[in-house]
Structure formats: C-alpha cells, structure tokens
Chain A
Amino acid sequence: MRSDRLARRWWLGLTMALAALALAACGDEPQSAMDPQGPFAQKPDDLWQIVFVIAIVVFVIVQGLIVFTVFKFRERPDDTSLPVQTHGNTRLEIMWTVIPALILAGIAVPTVRTIFELDAEPDGAMTVQVIGHRWWWEYRYPGAGPDGQDIVTANEMVIPVGQPVRLEMTAQEAGGPDNAVIHSFWIPKLAGKQDVVPGRITTLNIQADSEGRYLGQCAEYCGLSHANMRARVDALSDDQFQRWLADQAEPAAEPEGELARQGKELFFREGSSCVGCHALNAGDLSSGAQVGPNLTHLMSRQEFAGAIFELNEDNLTAWLENPSSMKPMRPDFGVGMPDLFDESDPEARREIQALVAYLLSLL
C-alpha cells in the first residue's frame, strides 16, 4: 500500500508542476482571460483559481487511480484464475457521492455570491452605451460632453482609469433592432463577456485599474465578419479622459490643404453615399446617419473597420477602393460598406485621394 501512495504522490508532484507551468505560460497575452486588470475580471478569476486547483486535484486522483489500476491489476500470463466477482461496496459508493456533493456545495456559495456582486450597479459608475452592429462596435456617452453633448465613437472605447463603468448594451442596425443580430462584448482583462441582443438592454460592469489599451472582440457568432469585430478599451488618467471628452464634443476642425477641402466637399456633396451612412459633425455641415461609424474624430482612434486595420493613408485608400476585398461583408444585403468606386477609373481614384486626405484630417 505504501508503494501505491508513493506512486500517487509522484504523479501529484508532476501534475502540479505541469499545472504551474501551464498557468505561468498563459500569463499575459494581450487578450488573456487569466490576467485580470480590474475588479470585475478579478472576481471571476478568484473563483477560477479555486476551481482550477480542485479540478487538478480530482484529475490527479482519478487519472492516478486509472494508471495505478491498469498496472496493478493487469492479467499476468501465468495466472488463469478469475478474480473475486465484487458487485459493489456501499460505503465507497456513498463516499464518492457525498464528498463531491460537498465540494460542489463549497464552490456554489462563493459562485452565487459573486454572480450578484458582479451584477449590481457599482457606486459612482459612469454610463457608456454599447451598440453592436454588423460588424463594428458603437459607443455613446450620453450627456458626457462639457456642455452636455452626447459623445459618439466606434470600436475603441475610452474610459477613465480606476473608475467603474456601467455598460448599457444592445444590438442595432441603422438605429433600430430591425435586421440586427446578437453579438457579445468581451474585453477579457476587464470583465467576462456579455451578449448584446436586439430589442433588449443588457448590462456589464468594467473597470481598468491601470492605464493602457485592452484588447477584446465580439464573442457571439454574428455571420460573415464575426472574426473582424474587434473591440478596444483605452484607459486614460482622469485629466486625459476629460480632455478626450472635450475634444470629442467639438465639431471636426476645418481641413487644411486643397485636397482635404475637396474631400470635405465630396463627403457632404448632395446625394453622396458618405452622409447616407456616416455621422460627421463638421460644424457648418453635418450628417446624422447611424448606419456606419461616426467619423467626426476618426483620427483620434488607432484602427478602423472593426479595429482590424491601422488608420493610415494606405489602408484608408484600399478601403475606399474596395471594402469587401478587405473585410467580408454583404452590403447587398444591408450589412457592411458597399463598393462605391470603380478603382480603375482615374476620376474615382482622384476622389478617393481627396476623401482620404479629408478623413486623415479628422483628428
């Protein structure tokens, strides 16, 4: 019997080492769910640490039993007798019913407590509305501007560090639930994911305790470009955040340079496709459309098209030339950006150049 216990201890040591190695190896990748950076990710992680250890212990016991049994009770070639025909052992069976039940009851208590803790609206929370579209994220900060203006941005949510943020979320297309589908907002280092559902409001609390950029993406299959619906959260110091709000509340600056001015003209031209989908507050001119992202301060962001491309001249040009070749979409079906230009036409290429110059000026 002692040899059996030793055999099992050896296995225990090895497996704990492996588990430690695995956990260590999985530390801080950019979208890791095992690297909580705020209380609403920390609490689930606390539960995980407990359950994971229990799971490893049970794993070692059960697999150890199997390995032990396989070696100890293998048929020896010289032994042809049949074993005792044990039918059961009531005491053992009761034990392995009751003990797991008790362990689970032990896990159940903090689990239920944490569910309710995470759900409650935190004190002093700032509200941000999240709207999932196919295939990009819209964020609205109602009344957050210095004069009470609504701030609207896309894909990259900016929040103040150390403050709880209450996300009120839904899914829409072009301002309403029609043709909208379910998505899921997920920034693993800040919180678990929460589905956004057309026709309903769901809520999620997040908080970033350090400044920095947190990665995430849509986590509910939403069709063709589900994989391309990334989300970012930038946590800024309180001062920087207030400055950001103020900047966002301003209309877009007047563009400098002839090309950019032409671009603005093209953008707001009568019958232009741009204003049909994109909101842009340029002061004297503005568009309120809600089909695509608000472009007023496009260049205050780092990425576009669902945060999958860096915002630069090359990418913006390629995007305007042929958006569907860069990101799978179905504009013919009402989702995604249509192909507006014939890029073989030199006139169209000139228009694209001008528009890109204008977009690049939208700081």
Chain B
Amino acid sequence: MATATATSRSILARPTAETGWTSWFTTVDHKKIGIMYAITAFVFFLIGGLEAILVRLQLSEPNATVLTAEQYNQLFTMHGLTMVFLVVMPMGAAFFNYLIPLQIGARDVAFPRLNAFSYWVFLFGGLFLYSSFFLGGAPNGGWFAYAPLSTSMPGNNMAFYSVGLQILGLSSLAASVNFITTILNMRAPGMTFMRMPMFIWMSLIVNFLLLFAMPVIAVALFQLTFDGVFGTSFFNPAAGADPLLWQHLFWIFGHPEVYILILPAMGIVSEILPVFSRKPLFGYAAVAFAGAAIGFIGWGVWAHHMFAAGLGPVARAAFGLSTMFIAVPTGIKIFNWVFTMWGGKLRFTTPMLFAIGFVAMFTIGGLSGVTHSVVPHDAQQTDTYYVVAHFHYVLFGGALFGLMAGTYYWWPKVTGRMLSEKLGKVHFWIWFIGFNLTFGPMHFAGLLGQPRRTYQYGPELGDTVTIWNRIATFGALVIALSVLVFTWNVIKTQRGPKDAPDDPWDARTLEWLTSNPPAHYNFEEIPVVTHRDEFWYRKYAEDAEGRAVPRQAGGSTTEVQGQPPAGGDTGDPDHGDGHEHIHMPNPSYWPLVMTFGLPIAGYAVIYRSLVLAAIGGLLMFFGFYAWIIEPVAEDDAH
C-alpha cells in the first residue's frame, strides 16, 4: 500500500498535517474552522464596537462635530453591516461548526472542504468590505441600502456594499447546505429528531432559513450591482421602475435574517439553562416546534419593515396580523425557558448568568416588537430610536448575551481551560448595566422624536432627548469596559494550565463525552443514542418521584464509562484497536485557493477590469477544478 516514493511527492500533493500553524490554512477539521470563525468574528466585534463608540460620541451632544456627516454615514452603515454579517452570523457559524458534529455524534461535517471554503470566504469577504475604507470610502447607504439612494450615491462606496455582501452570502449559502446535510444524514445511531439537542434543532431551522433567504438577497444584490456599476434600471423610478421592489426583496431576505441571527443563541440558551437548573428543558417538543413555527411564519412578516413605505391599508393590516401572530411561538419559548429554571437547583455560573440575562433582555425586545405590530403607531415608531432600541434588545440582549453564554460554557471543551468565574461575573454585570444604560433610553428618545441615521440632532428636540443621548453614550463606554474585562479574562485564562475536567458542568449532551479538546476524530467509538440528553441519561437515572439519581459510582467523564450502550459498535468495519485507523477527511489547499479568486473578481466588477476578472475567474476555476479532482492523501490511499 504505502509505496509513496520521493518522486510522487509534489507541491500539489494533498496536505496531511494536522498540527503546526500552516495546518490552519489547509484544515478541514470542523473544530479548527469553528475556532477560526470565532476569533475572526471577535475581531470584527471589536471593530464594530469601535464604530459604535464613535457614533455615540457624535450623538452625545446636539449638533456635535466629532464626525462629519459623511464619516458618520459610513460608520453607522459599517457598524450595522459588521455586527450583522461579520459578527453575529459568523459567531453562530462558529458554534454550528464546533458543536454540530460533536452533539450529533459525528466525526465531522458532511462536506469538510466546503466548510473550510465557507470560512475563508467569510474572512476574505469581510476584508474586501473593509478595504473600501482605503479605496474611496466605506458603504454609506445604511445596512439596508434602500434604492434609489443606494444606486445614486457618488463613488464606489455602495459598489463595495453590493459586491461585498454578495461574496459574504456565498459563505452562508455553502455552509447552510453543509449543515443541513450533516444534521439530516450524520446523526449517531439512535438519535431521532426528538432526541437531538435543542441546539441542533435550532441549527437545522437556521440553516434552512439561510438556504432560502440567501438566494433572495443574492438576486437583489445582483440587481443593485448592475444598477450601481453598470447603469441598469432595476430600481430607477425615472425609467419606470418601482423603488419599493428593492425594499421587498431586501426584507424578504431581511426578516428571516433576523431569525437567523437569534435562533442560534436561543439554541445555546436552551442547552445552558437545563444544565445549570439540573433539569431538562421544559416542553422540549414545544420549543422545537415553536422554533420551526417562527422559522416558517417568519417568511410572512417581511413588510412590517415597510409600514410607512407606501403599501396600501390591506397589505399593512395583513402584515400587522402576521407580525402579531409570530409573537405567540416566541412567547412560548420564553415561558419554556423560565419554567426550565422553575423547580430546579440553579447554579449561577457565568454562562448561566448570561443565559438568564438573555431571557430577560430578549423579553423586553420582544415586547417592543409587539408594539411595532400595532401598525398605526408603528408609523410613529418606525425609523426612530425606538426601533434602534428594539433591535438592540433582541440582537445584543438576545443574540450577543446568548453567544457570550455559549462562549463561557464551551470554553473548557474547546481549550481545556475554564474562564475565570470571578472575572466572568464582573464582565457580566458591567456588560448588563452598560447594555441597559445604552439602549434603554433609546426607547424614549425615539418616541420623543429622534429619528435614526441622523448624524446630528438639534437642541430643539428638547433637553430630555439630549439627556437620554448622553446616558446612552456613557452606557456604550461601560459596555466597552466590560469587553476589556472579557478580553483580559481570555488572555489570563489561556496563559494558565489546561486543567479543566472533560465534563466540568455536569452537562447533558454528547460533546461532553469527549476529551478537552476533543481528539481530531471526536469519538473513539461513535456513541449509540437511546435517549434525549443521552450523556445525562448515561450518568443519571430517574427514581420513582422523577428525581435524578446517579448511576453506579457517580458520573465519570471518560468515554468508556457507566453503562455501555447496547450494541454499541460503529459502522467502520476496519476499526481496530487504535484511533489511527479512524479515517478522517484530509486537509486541502483548494478551498483557500478558490477563495482568493472571489475578492479579485469583486474588485474586477467595481473597477470594471477585465484583467482582474480574468485572474479572479481563473483562480476560482482552477481552485474549483483541482478541488473536484484531488485524490485522498498518499498516506491514506488504500
């Protein structure tokens, strides 16, 4: 078999290294890719946060001159684009990547190279978008880029928007295909849908939403690109087009997009609350089906972003009703989470604090959302700071709190170290207070007449508005302080020893069966699943009163403990004694090579350069072709 000689080794040979810093460029390991997503998303979070601080400094006084109008317009646009596309979505992807195979008992995702490709496209797409700052100016049309404004602004700013987002969309679309296939096809034996962890349910729903929503924005972005760069008239009213077409297309994507942003955090919180309440998720089936209902109904509410846009009364009434309707499954989940805690034995670790904070803050955002559905009053609320308050309560109070909870919770599994509980609590409280100081006042400022997306406001709005703005700016600085605390926690922790136990939290799901961090192949033997919360079931049985009691001699944390699963063989007939016979997908260069072509092609469109188009196109084609035909690595050929 292994007759590989020196002559058959070439630079195009498939890489095999799983360690060393260069291995990160060729890795297809879902865990490494998850880590890369998380680090990159965190860096963008710091940048997006800086943009927010600058915005808030400009708004701390009426008629301030900290920023010019053009600078402000670029900063608020990039803040929104960064937080949505370069922070919350990729953080979700980080968790999907790291956890999905582990929680379903698989060794990797269905398409490992496509997985790597998704990450590199995200990184390069983000860099492409940010290169605009150095190439004439960043996008300045708002994250929602309403036409015809977005197609009639001077410069290339909005071309970077339409091309940059197009590139980023490819990342999410590819990932969605990957994760859906993985969840549907690669669950461990015995893991039926109703035994999947709730995080997997939410991931499945989110990835279906991505699968159907990304093509819509892709079409819209193509039209925007052609209008902006090549002078077509998709959205040009002078040529007879209807500007509202952009709004419809954008929001048909945009509304499912907000569920894409929140559902991963809901999944994370649905994992954490049971662990630190020491009892199962209350009403598992209802939470799963409510999530699916939200995903489904979410397609029917998009025009609630357009209540002032000029739709007729019938359309507004219909979308008002559907928006009210979607509050029901959302409320169900809130109650299910609260009652997960009810009757439990609550441990207030840092992940638990963030998870409880999620429930409380998301409730506030959900309530202000319900007030939006009262269409005639939404005509007062929309496009004011009241809406800014609403979506920050659900996106920060919801998604970011949830993602932070997950970060603290899974940190030991990923790194082998526990983040400091003391610093974590300091982080939580400063973050919580800063967040409410920043966004609470915006409810009032909006209802007192302060519109959104304004680089300055006048003193004629009244002293109260100025005071709320000053408090909000102060709150933003408090949030920044809390992020510093978190960063310090990370640095301090990572310098310390890898002494976290494999199951530090006494958790419920399969990833805690593995070592810290899990081996490359995840599980020595693919676990056989007989129950929901399989790992918990292996540790505890329920007595006659329904209380959990430990099985045998307490919950040990190695893979080969407690009750051996019935008939627990894996599928691999070649399985031997050692893990070196577990076949894992090989690393590959080609996803990265192919990705290089994308931003080059992007610049080609913006600068209308055939040369760049040729280079980008060739890189993509060559990368793609090599990807398709590359064999497994020599060492693994058998």
Bound form: Cα–Cα A180–B448 in Å: 29
B546: interface (CB < 8 Å): yes
Q: Residue on B with the closest CB to A79?
A: B345
Least Cβ distance of B188 to chain A in Å? 22
CB contact under 8 A between A119 and B310, given known A44-B380, A47-B374, A85-B280: no
Chain A residues contacting B237 (CB-CB under 8 Å) are 177-178, 180, 197-200
B492: interface (CB < 8 Å): no
Chain B residues contacting A194 (CB-CB under 8 Å) are 308, 310, 379
Q: Would you give the 0/1 interface string for A2-21, flagging 1 where the beta carbon is closer than 8 Å to chain B?
A: 00000000000000000000
* A70-B356, A96-B335 given; 5 more Cβ-contact pairs under 8 Å: A51-B377, A75-B346, A86-B280, A115-B375, A223-B73
Q: Would you give the 0/1 interface string for A99-113, flagging 1 where the beta carbon is closer than 8 Å to chain B?
A: 011001001100110
B136: interface (CB < 8 Å): no
What are 28 A-B pairs at a CB distance below 8 A? A29-B464, A30-B462, A31-B462, A43-B376, A44-B379, A52-B371, A69-B338, A82-B549, A83-B279, A84-B545, A85-B280, A85-B542, A85-B546, A87-B282, A89-B282, A97-B328, A115-B317, A192-B308, A192-B380, A193-B380, A194-B379, A195-B308, A197-B243, A198-B148, A220-B146, A221-B142, A223-B153, A328-B68
* Residues of chain A whose beta carbon lies under 8 Å from any beta carbon of chain B: 22, 25-26, 29-34, 41, 43-45, 47-48, 51-52, 55, 58-59, 62-63, 65-66, 69-70, 73-76, 79, 81-89, 92-93, 96-97, 100-101, 104, 107-108, 111-112, 114-116, 118-119, 176-182, 184, 186, 188, 191-195, 197-200, 202, 215-228, 230, 308, 328, 330, 332-333
Least Cβ distance of A53 to chain B in Å? 11
How many residues does chain B have at the interface if contact means C-beta atoms less than 8 Å apart? 103
Q: Residue on B with the closest CB to A100?
A: B331
B618: interface (CB < 8 Å): no
Bound form: Cα–Cα A325–B363 in Å: 45
Bound form: Cα–Cα A107–B309 in Å: 23
Stretch at the interface among B8-16, B82-90, B408-416, B450-458: B450-458
Asked if residues B284 and A87 are in contact (CB atoms below 8 Å), the reply is: yes
Asked if residues B383 and A97 are in contact (CB atoms below 8 Å), the reply is: no
Asked if residues A55 and B310 are in contact (CB atoms below 8 Å), the reply is: no
Asked if residues A86 and B320 are in contact (CB atoms below 8 Å), the reply is: no
CB contact under 8 A between A112 and B321, given known A55-B371, A74-B346, A97-B328: yes
Least Cβ distance of A217 to chain B in Å? 6
CB contact under 8 A between A32 and B278, given known A74-B346, A96-B332, A193-B379: no
Count A/B pairs, Cβ under 8 Å: 309
Bound form: Cα–Cα A83–B549 in Å: 9
Q: Which chain B residues numbered 40 to 94 have a C-beta less than 8 Å away from chain A?
A: 68-70, 73
Q: Which of B379, B456, B462 has the most CB of A within 10 A?
A: B379
Chain B residues contacting A65 (CB-CB under 8 Å) are 338, 342
Bound form: Cα–Cα A32–B461 in Å: 8
Bound form: Cα–Cα A222–B69 in Å: 12
Chain B residues contacting A107 (CB-CB under 8 Å) are 324, 374
B283: interface (CB < 8 Å): yes
Q: Residue on A with the closest CB to B153?
A: A223
Contact partner of A73 (CB less than 8 A), chosen from B313, B344, B370, is B344
B316: interface (CB < 8 Å): yes
B364: interface (CB < 8 Å): yes
Chain B residues contacting A199 (CB-CB under 8 Å) are 237-238, 240-243
Asked if residues B449 and A88 are in contact (CB atoms below 8 Å), the reply is: no
Chain A residues contacting B383 (CB-CB under 8 Å) are 184, 186, 193, 219-221
Q: Would you give the 0/1 interface string for B293-332, flagging 1 where the beta carbon is closer than 8 Å to chain A?
A: 0000000000000001110110011001100110110011
Contact partner of B342 (CB less than 8 A), chosen from A73, A119, A192, is A73
Asked if residues B331 and A63 are in contact (CB atoms below 8 Å), the reply is: no
Contact partner of B284 (CB less than 8 A), chosen from A22, A88, A104, A223, is A88
Asked if residues B310 and A330 are in contact (CB atoms below 8 Å), the reply is: no
Bound form: Cα–Cα A345–B284 in Å: 78
Asked if residues A73 and B345 are in contact (CB atoms below 8 Å), the reply is: yes
Chain B residues contacting A184 (CB-CB under 8 Å) are 308, 383
Contact partner of A224 (CB less than 8 A), chosen from B69, B338, B448, B461, is B69
Chain B residues contacting A178 (CB-CB under 8 Å) are 237-238
Chain A residues contacting B378 (CB-CB under 8 Å) are 192
Q: Residue on B with the closest CB to A111?
A: B374
Asked if residues B364 and A59 are in contact (CB atoms below 8 Å), the reply is: yes
Asked if residues A85 and B548 are in contact (CB atoms below 8 Å), the reply is: yes
Chain A residues contacting B70 (CB-CB under 8 Å) are 224, 328
Contact partner of B547 (CB less than 8 A), chosen from A84, A89, A176, A215, is A84
B292: interface (CB < 8 Å): no
B277: interface (CB < 8 Å): yes
Least Cβ distance of B589 to chain A in Å? 43
Bound form: Cα–Cα A48–B244 in Å: 28
Asked if residues A308 and B458 are in contact (CB atoms below 8 Å), the reply is: yes
B614: interface (CB < 8 Å): no
